[in-house]
Structure 1
Amino acid sequence: MKPEDVRRLARALPEVVEGAHSGHPDFRVWGRIFATLWVEEERVVLRLSRAQQAEWIEAEPDRFEAIEGAWGRRGWTNLNLWEADEDALLAALLAAWREVAPADEDRI
């Protein structure tokens, strides 16, 4: 997958706005970041639950890895785009979106 695939899939989720921080594009729902795109490194950093993070890293260690330090302990997880297919990328973006979207937001 490529960075433009991240943009296309993330923007298709409800209420998503593309922003930027620290020089990287990010994707937000209701002002909360759920994914940050590292274009040059061809990876996306996702806000997952700790349980999801552990499951996905165990199941697919070539695709997923926890961010080092406190961010990783809070669920922030790397997804290497060159290892991902569209189904995996969409599932990860959706999981991250659900992690930060308000509970009353329409769930997909």
Structure 2
Amino acid sequence: MASAESFTRIAIALPDTVSAPHFDRTAFRVKRIFATLAGDGLSANIKFELDEQEFKCQLAPDLFQAIDNGWGRQGWTTMWLAPATDEDVQAALRMAHGHALGPAKKKR
């Protein structure tokens, strides 16, 4: 079972990640926010690409649920921490973190 503490530890361990208050949540960002942790520590919102969101929600509906508004249509997905393992959290955060870094600079 993942917890708010393990979620935070895993998120902060990703390269160049910082955390800061974000409304009633804690945001994790590199170039942009890639995840937020709910104040009650029960869930987190993670930014996926739309195809990743669809896949994760179909594969593990007990862990992932698309947010039912415009944010969800942009890929923001709720992850419930109680049924998740630390490995689930790490995989989701790595994916979102990679997107937040943006495209790699091409060498000329």
TM-score normalised per structure 1: 0.91
Flag as ranges the 4+ runs of structure 1 deviating above 6 A: none
Aligned to 2:25: 24
Secondary structure at the residue paired with 2:15? coil
For these two proteins, the number of residue pairs brought into alignment is 104
Return 5+ residue gaps in structure 1 as ranges: none
TM-score normalised per structure 2: 0.91
> Contact conserved, 2:64 with 2:77, CA < 8 A, in 1?
yes
Q: Give the partner amino acid of 1:9.
A: I
> Contact conserved, 1:3 with 1:39, CA < 8 A, in 2?
no
Q: Does 1:51 align with 2:51?
A: yes
* Higher Cα radius of gyration: 2
Higher relative contact order (CA 8 A, sep 6+): 2
Q: Give the partner amino acid of 1:27.
A: F
Identity %: 34
> Contact conserved, 2:46 with 2:92, CA < 8 A, in 1?
yes
- Alpha-carbon separation, structure 2, partners of 1:77 and 1:102: 19
Match runs of 1:1-108 below 5 Å: 1-30=2-31, 32-40=32-40, 42-104=42-104
Return 5+ residue gaps in structure 2 as ranges: none
Please give the root-mean-square deviation of Cα atoms over the aligned residues, in Å. Answer: 1.2
- Alpha-carbon separation, structure 1, partners of 2:39 and 2:22: 13
